[in-house]
A and B are shown apart, each in its own frame.
Chain A
Amino acid sequence: MYAFNYHRPATARQAASLLAKKEDAKLLAGGHTLLPTMKQRLASPGALVDLSSCADLKGIARKGRNLVIGAMTTHAEVASSPEVQQAIPALAYLASHIGDPHVRHRGTIGGSVANNDPAADYPAALLALGATVVTNKRKLPADEFFSGLYETALDEGEIIIKVSFPVASKAGYAKFRNPASRYALVGVFVAKRGSEVAVAIIGAGEGGVFRWPEAEAALKARFAVKSLDGLKHTAKGINGDIHADAEYRAHLIGVMAKQAVAQATGK
């Protein structure tokens, strides 16, 4: 790592003012992407603002029809939360399958969402569930928030405070893991809210998380695994690498979508 200054504010407001003041400062959440990148000397922030002491960024609460999760809530906390398990069990399931147990003890929803790694799990849940990202400045719907590979609508100095998930009537998540890194090769989150159905896919898109309208239409007609029979995702726009080419990934989207629907429908 290159040298940097370190700050650990106690509130999000203090963090924001540090971020505004400090030359080339970066926020440190769980650190499980940022620190390895810095170790490889691929990132060299002048300062780190560590959010781990900001109590106002933590916590899980059911607020009416929404489940609200603080940005610094860890994956392990989401996975084991009775509120989450009761309101959106697929979200708890997703969190319980991010990385490995040690990573889940450090990694946070805010860090994951802000990083928008194309192989990270949470963006699929946010997009499919129609979540809202609440920052210290504004509220951003998920479909406006994620804007490309590792890119979001966040401005300089903007901090994610929490993510608000409308509770879905049915939701499911399935992923096929990269055998080496254990990140998602393909992950599919399906959600049914009222008559609306959303299918969001991560790991496979050349531009990051995206939706699959054909599957959504089929599931809107009937929310069942069978509805996806014969439906194939095109390999166009799907990324390929040494682990999986576009054709295989496109195929896995169909397989994972069925598994996700099976989970959502309890079948």
Chain B
Amino acid sequence: MANLSMTVNGKAVTATVDPRTLLVQFLRENLRLTGTHVGCDTSQCGACVVHLDGKAVKACTTLALSCEGASVTTIEGLANGGALHPMQEAFREHHGLQCGFCTPGMIMAAVDIVNRRGNHLDEKTIREDLDGNICRCTGYHNIVKAIAAGAEAMAGGSTKDREPPRQAAE
């Protein structure tokens, strides 16, 4: 067993864990933050995506102990008090989710796309940057719309009535 301390959703947490504890297990089992999901064993589905020091990572492929001293944000920490994050709001507004299982990872990945690429995202960019997130319900159509709108809203606009610009024919 080893001691571990990190910041999760702005709160300091400490624990004693088995070294083989993955970050996702630490979040789900130790902290009971069950919004972060596990959908595969091979680091592909992205249901487990959280932000580690501000960057999207797969919590199923990260040891909890590797996050010593780090700051982790999960889906539970995204909303600001009672106010939803604009990306959360956009997913609801544009029906970017159905069963909801991939959704926390999708939203965390979406916010990361905006952090890396800015607020004005075309459809092609969004689709390519969702390489690490699998959804089985939506066919991605509304996820793409939601992310484009959420990205704009993060710059201060409204999430309503925004369509991503269609990609110009190549």
Contact = CB atoms under 8 A, between A and B. Distances in A.
A105 interface: yes
Contacts of A38: 20
A102 B43 CA distance: 9
Contacts of B2: 6
B63 A28 contact: yes
Given A3-B20, A8-B68, A101 B132 contact: yes
A99 B19 contact: no
Given A100-B46, A101-B112, A101-B131, A31 B63 contact: yes
Contact of A5 (B19, B57, B68, B133): B19
A222 interface: no
Interface residues of A, number: 29
A182 interface: yes
Given A3-B19, A36-B41, A105 B55 contact: yes
Given A101-B131, A103-B43, A182-B131, A76 B65 contact: no
Contacts of B129: 101
A8 B57 contact: no
Interface in B53-86: 55-58, 61-63, 65-66, 68
A103 B132 contact: yes
Contact of B65 (A6, A32, A102): A6
Contacts of A48: 19, 63
Contacts, number: 81
B66 A100 contact: no
B116 to A, nearest CB: 7
A74 to B, nearest CB: 9
Given A1-B20, A6-B19, A36-B61, A76 B43 contact: no
B113 interface: yes
* Residue of B42, B62, B133 ringed by the most chain A CB atoms within 10 A: B62
B29 interface: no
Contact of B109 (A2, A31, A40, A101): A101
B67 to A, nearest CB: 9
A50 interface: yes
B19 A102 contact: no
B49 interface: yes
B44 interface: yes
A181 interface: yes
A106 B61 CA distance: 9
B43 A105 contact: no
Interface string A156-199: 00000000000000000000000001100000000000000000
B109 A102 contact: yes
A39 interface: yes
* Residue of A39, A80, A101, A182 ringed by the most chain B CB atoms within 10 A: A101
B66 A31 contact: yes
A25 to B, nearest CB: 12
Nearest to A47: B19
Interface of A: 1-6, 8, 28, 31-32, 35-36, 38-40, 48, 50, 52, 76, 80, 99-103, 105-106, 181-182
Interface of B: 2, 18-20, 22, 41-44, 46, 49, 52, 55-58, 61-63, 65-66, 68, 109, 112-113, 116, 129, 131-133
Given A8-B65, A99-B131, 13 more contacts: A2-B20, A4-B20, A5-B19, A28-B66, A31-B66, A35-B61, A101-B56, A101-B109, A101-B112, A102-B46, A102-B132, A103-B132, A182-B131
Q: Top 3 A-B pairs ranked by shortest CB distance?
A: A100-B132, A6-B19, A100-B131
6 contacts: A2-B20, A8-B68, A28-B63, A35-B22, A102-B58, A105-B52
